[in-house]
Chain A
Amino acid sequence: MTLFIIRRLIALVPVLLGVSTIVFFILHLTPGDPAQLMLGDFATKEAVAQLREEMGLNEPLYVQYGLFVANIARGDLGTSIAQRQPVVTLIAQRLQATAELALMAMLFALAIGVTGGVLAAANHNSVTDYVTTALSLLGISVPIFYLGLLLILVFSLQLGWFPVSGRGAPLFASIGALFRGEAQPFVTSLKHLFLPSLALGLSFAALMAKMTRATMLEVLQQDFVRTAHAKGLRRWGVIMKHGLKNAGIPLLTILGLQFSALLGGSVLTETVFAWPGLGRLAVDAIFTRDFPLVQGTVLAVALIFVLLNLLVDLAYGLLDPRVTYS
């Protein structure tokens, strides 16, 4: 097991190298000059040339690439061109905000999606099934952007239940405060988190519902399930213990893979809800051709994605005793 983890972590290196290489070249081959964009109005030819020199953009591309890789190897992601702060700092500032958003969205997705899927499968071809299937189709089809605005209009403007936008107290810190007996930060934090994570989680929930339903239907038709029923076990006991547990592995795989979609969706969610996360950072960086910052955020997201899938692989062992790691 330890060996397995170590080997997977070593395999991370070529993956990240590949990602950074692709990002580097896509960025540098896209039209748009960061020096020009930065100077904007009134930039003379000389000023742009001088700035390019200062930024090291006049070096041949392979030299720039070499420097870039060498710096990454030392853990230095460079300095943001537009914001003039170390890229690592900027990412670190945003990471928690996006993490709590993604986590909450995931919780919503699991709670709503798995419940819906199990109910639909257990009541195959019933009204519950049809309603769940229809709702999940709707959920997958509605754009996050639109859904976000809709939620704001209903729950913030009309009902006034939740704040419109912005982030409350940091979630993890407010959980800490909760243990010290202060509930207020935690409540504000959750209130601010609720709508954005719901918007982000719903399409994911819909997908989970569809997948859960399909795999559950398959599992529930297996012989061992029939046997369990024949032994006279309680119906929901069979569905949950024999059914859901065996449907778990494909669901887990999707969970890991779809997490990247979740991070992608966070770009839109963070824009609608003015959430100070990684997605907005990336968008701002792309529009200003802030090379170091784009590279940094993409690398960070890639790293998260790979690590998360490693966790998923490890979790297989918990669900299926036949899985061994070597």
Chain B
Amino acid sequence: MKALRTIFVALLVAGASVALAQGGVLRVGTVSEPTSLDPITTNNVPSSIIFMQVHDALVTYDQDLNIVPMLAESWEVSEDGRTYTFALRDGVRFHDGEPFTAADVVYAFTAGADPAYQSQWLGRFQQIEAIEALDDLTVRLTLEAPNAAFIDQITYFGIPSSKAHRELGGDGYAIAPVGTGPFKFVSWQRNDKLVLERNDDYWLTRPNLAGVEFRAIPERSVAAVELEVGGIDVAMSLNADDVTRLESHPDITVGSTPTLSYYYVAMNNQLGPLADVRVRKAIQYALPLDQIVDTIFGGVGAIRAYTSMAPGSLAYDESVVADIPGYDPQRALQLLAEAGYPNGFSTTIYTPTDSNRRQLAELVQAALALVNIKVEVRAVELGTMLPITYAGEAPMWILGWTSGTDPNNYSYEMFHSTPEAWAENATTYNTSRYHNPEADELMATARTLTDMEERLPLYRQAIRTIFVDDAAQIAAYHQTFNIAYRNHVQDIFLNRNSRMDLVTIYNNVSLTN
């Protein structure tokens, strides 16, 4: 009897290891630990890249960033642009076996908009006026005001099993998520290892990988070494010098894709000399940005930016790019003299403490010194710096911005005037205090239209006004998203939202031997 049991156990173990070998487990080194795996409360990238393997959203992107169906098979937008009716996919089941229905969608959005959940989606979901289930597979959602970018804003809002979420509570769900996604949650030792396993019944396709293991390795060069010795299969977010080394490694491939992220030198458009458009243009002329970006990144990790629209963005416009002034310090001096600053002036630039942006600040300082603008660099932590910019006290500062794909997010959100917030020194994304009624009008109109083809010319016009005519901000660089992986990893896809896709409508990662 005992012998029989031993054989049985041995068979089981053998069976399990065969199943595991088929497909294998992908070991991924990430930089930051997720904070929570609850998509309802959490919307930061380190968490999202993991919980979106466990959950699906209503809609998603294809390779070219067009929005395509996911858990919603289709959707309709009302004439006035405020009401969205989603037809949900039938026959989808959560990892706990519960069927996916309209009730789950209503639950997720309602909880996300409820302050009691302290959700990071709160700001975005306050625009939702009502959401209701019309039947088991139809949801109607109404916005307070039309917002053409709304659909883009929910592409990473994963839908949890409302039953599990209710039973576990937000805090319990954060460490034991139950979604409909390609992988099921297995375990998570914080700061150590997070394990997912294949969802054999995934509605889209059967994932090739038997599982995924995420390890947070905060020091990037250590992650690179870990990849070299084969301790992990994929390393995300690498240092530029490590990329160069890994590129020459025979067993490793370095993948790179430009992202829509946008890093810039901001100027307070209402403060001191910078309120004068001639001064801002002088600064535009005084900065040799091609050289600056090349010095910081050495061709790895970023490309030079001309406006807030990165190449690949739908509203990217070659003609605007061509009209952004090149390096011309003589012209800068001339403009400064015209504005009444023949001997220059002194100002301050704030920057977060990461080395890229600190270096940018220092190079800006050096370049502006040549046109007699004396710049003091203050490197402070982001949490300290933001309130100073909100209060309108910083003359110049360096920040980055990344917010989905919709052109609205790279124009309206950063440049539409917010006089109320400015008056109260409150949080706003137009910290530059840029105010041009013409640009306001263009961006506000574009937001209410539902046809992208109609919206794009308006955005292009607005971007021209902001960056060429008003020199409201100096665009510095768009980051590229780098990952490196062992050659046995197949079909990995890097998208422009700085994410690595594992199982989607266009790819399904596998491991070869």
Which residues of chain A have a CB within 8 Å of any CB of chain B?
30-33, 36-48, 50-51, 53-55, 79, 81-85, 90, 93-94, 149, 152-153, 156-157, 160, 163-167, 271-277, 280-281, 284, 287-289
Whether B295 is near chain A, meaning CB under 8 Å from some CB there, is: no
Residue B35, interface by CB 8 Å: yes
Interface residues as binary, B227-266 with A (CB distance below 8 Å gives 1, 0 otherwise): 0110100000000000000000000000000000000000
Task: Knowing that A93-B190, A165-B226 touch, tell me 9 more A-B residue pairs with CB under 8 angstroms.
Answer: A31-B383, A32-B384, A36-B387, A41-B43, A48-B427, A84-B170, A152-B222, A164-B226, A165-B223
Q: CB distance A166 to B192 under 8 Å?
A: yes
Instruction: Check if A51 sits within 8 Å of B118, measured CB to CB.
Output: yes
Q: Which of B115, B175, B384, B426 contacts A54 (CB 8 A)?
A: B115
Bound complex: CA A326 to CA B245 (Å)? 64
Contact A32-B383, Cβ < 8 Å, known A40-B44, A44-B126: yes
- Does B33 make an interface contact (CB < 8 A)? yes
0/1 string, B360-391, CB within 8 A of A gives 1: 00000000000000000000010110110000
Q: Is residue B322 contacting chain A, with contact meaning CB distance below 8 A?
A: no
A165/B217 in contact, CB under 8 A: yes
Bound: A134/B426 CA distance, A: 57
Smallest CB separation, A87 vs chain B (Å) = 12
Is B334 part of the contact surface with A, judged by Cβ < 8 Å? no
CB nearest to A48 among chain B residues: B427
Does B136 sit within 8 A of A, measured CB to CB? no
Bound CA span A164–B386, Å? 37
Cα of A275 to Cα of B189 in the assembled complex, Å: 11
| Inter-chain contacts of B302 with A (CB < 8 A) | none
B384 touches A83 (CB 8 A): no
Q: How many Å lie between the Cα of A165 and that of B311 in the bound state? A: 37
Between-chain CB contacts (< 8 Å), 27 pairs: A30-B384, A32-B387, A39-B122, A40-B43, A41-B123, A42-B413, A43-B122, A44-B123, A45-B427, A48-B123, A51-B122, A55-B118, A82-B35, A84-B38, A84-B170, A93-B190, A152-B225, A153-B225, A157-B228, A166-B193, A166-B217, A167-B192, A272-B219, A274-B215, A274-B219, A274-B222, A284-B33
Nearest B residue to A145 via CB reads B219
Cβ contact within 8 Å between A47 and B122: yes
Interface hits, B104-128 → A, CB 8 Å? 115-116, 118, 120, 122-124, 126
Contact with A along B147-158 (1 / 0, CB 8 A): 000000100000
**Of all chain A residues, which has the CB nearest B113?**
A47
Taking A85-B174, A157-B225, A281-B191 as contacts, is the C-beta distance between A37 and B120 under 8 angstroms?
A: no
**Do residues A94 and B191 form an inter-chain contact, with CB atoms below 8 A?**
yes
CA distance A53 to B231 in the complex (A): 45
What's the nearest-Cβ distance from chain A to residue B462, in Å?
Answer: 20
Within 8 Å CB of A50, what residues of B?
115, 122
> Is B421's beta carbon under 8 Å from chain A?
yes
**A41-B403, A82-B35, A84-B171 known; A271-B115 Cβ under 8 A:** no
A273–B219 CA distance with the chains assembled, in angstroms: 8
| A43 CA to B115 CA, complexed, in Å | 12
With A36-B427, A43-B123, A274-B215 already in contact, the answer to whether A84 and B191 are too (CB < 8 A) is no
- With a cutoff of 8 Å between Cβ atoms, the chain B residues found around residue A85 in the complex are 171, 174-175
Contact of B120 among A31, A38, A165, A273 (CB under 8 A): A38
Nearest Cβ on chain B to A266's Cβ, whole angstroms? 13
Contact B218 A90 (CB under 8 A): no
Q: Collect the chain A residues with CB atoms within 8 Å of residue B381's CB.
A: 32, 287
Task: Assess the B403–A42 pair: CB atoms within 8 A.
Answer: yes
Q: In whole angstroms, what is the CA distance A38 to B383 when docked?
A: 11
Which residues of chain A have C-beta atoms less than 8 A from B424's C-beta? 45
Instruction: Give the contacting residue for B115; candidates A32, A33, A53; CB below 8 A.
Output: A53
User: What are the residues of chain A within 8 A of B387 when measuring CB–CB?
Assistant: 31-33, 36
Interface residues of B (CB under 8 A from A): 33, 35-36, 38, 41, 43-44, 115-116, 118, 120, 122-124, 126, 153, 170-171, 174-175, 189-193, 215-219, 221-223, 225-226, 228-229, 231, 381, 383-384, 386-387, 403, 413, 421, 424, 426-429
Which B residue's beta carbon lies closest to that of A274? B217
Question: Could you tell me the distance between the alpha carbons of A45 and B425 in the complex, rounded to whole angstroms?
Answer: 10
Distance of A85 Cα from B33 Cα, bound (Å):
14
Which residues from B are CB-within-8-Å of A280? 191, 218
Set of chain A residues within 8 Å of B192, measured between Cβ atoms: 166-167, 276
A34 to B, closest residue via Cβ: B383
| Shortest distance between the CB of A94 and any CB in chain B (Å) | 7
Cβ contact within 8 Å between A164 and B171:
no
Chain B nearest CB: distance from A58 CB in Å?
13
Does A84 lie within 8 Å of B115, measured CB to CB? no
Expressed in whole angstroms, the minimum distance between the Cβ of B430 and any Cβ of chain A is 13
Name the A residues within 8 Å of B383 (CB-CB): 31-33, 36-37, 287, 289
In whole angstroms, what is the CA distance A275 to B383 when docked? 26
A contact residues around B126 at 8 Å (CB): 44, 46-47
In the bound complex, CA of A79 to CA of B41 (Å): 15
Q: B192, B381, B428: which has the most chain A beta carbons within 10 Å? A: B192
> What's the minimum C-beta distance from A295 to chain B, rounded to whole angstroms?
17
**Does B118 contact A38, Cβ atoms closer than 8 Å?**
yes
In the complex, the answer to whether A271 meets B218 with C-beta atoms within 8 Å is yes
Q: How distant is the Cα of A81 from the Cα of B36 in the complex, in angstroms?
A: 11
Is A84 in contact with B190, judged by CB distance below 8 angstroms? no
| A166 contacts B33, C-beta separation under 8 Å | no
Q: How far is the CA of A51 from the CA of B117 in the complex (A)?
A: 9
Whole-angstrom CA separation of A79 from B225 in the bound complex: 36
Residues of B within 8 A of A90 (CB): 190
Residues of chain A contacted by B123 (CB below 8 angstroms)? 39, 41-44, 47-48
The answer for the CA separation of A161 and B451 in the assembled complex, in Å, is 60
- List, in ascending order, chain A residues with CB within 8 A of B429's CB: 42
The 10 closest A-B pairs by CB, nearest first: A32-B383, A276-B191, A276-B192, A47-B123, A43-B123, A50-B115, A47-B122, A42-B123, A45-B426, A274-B217
Q: How far is the CA of A90 from the CA of B171 in the complex (A)?
A: 13
For the complex, give the distance between the alpha carbons of A42 and B413 in Å: 9
Question: What is the CA–CA distance of A81 and B386 in the complex, to the nearest angstrom?
Answer: 20
What separation, in Å, do the CA atoms of A58 and B226 have in the docked complex?
45
User: How far apart sit A53 and B116, CA to CA, in the bound complex (Å)?
Assistant: 10
Query: A32 — nearest CB in chain B belongs to which residue?
Result: B383
B175 / chain A contacts, CB cutoff of 8 Å? 85
Residues of B within 8 A of A33 (CB): 383, 387
CB distance from B425 to the nearest CB of A (A): 10
Q: How far is the CA of A53 from the CA of B38 in the complex (A)?
A: 22
Given known pairs A42-B403, A84-B36, A284-B33, the reply for A149 and B118 (CB within 8 Å) is no
Bound-complex Cα distance A157 to B228 (A) = 8
Residues of A within 8 A of B120 (CB): 38-40
Task: Determine if A164 and B403 form an interchain contact, defined as CB atoms under 8 angstroms apart.
Answer: no
* CB of A93, distance to nearest CB on chain B (Å): 6
A94 to B387, CA, bound (A): 33
The answer to whether B171 touches A79 (Cβ under 8 A) is yes
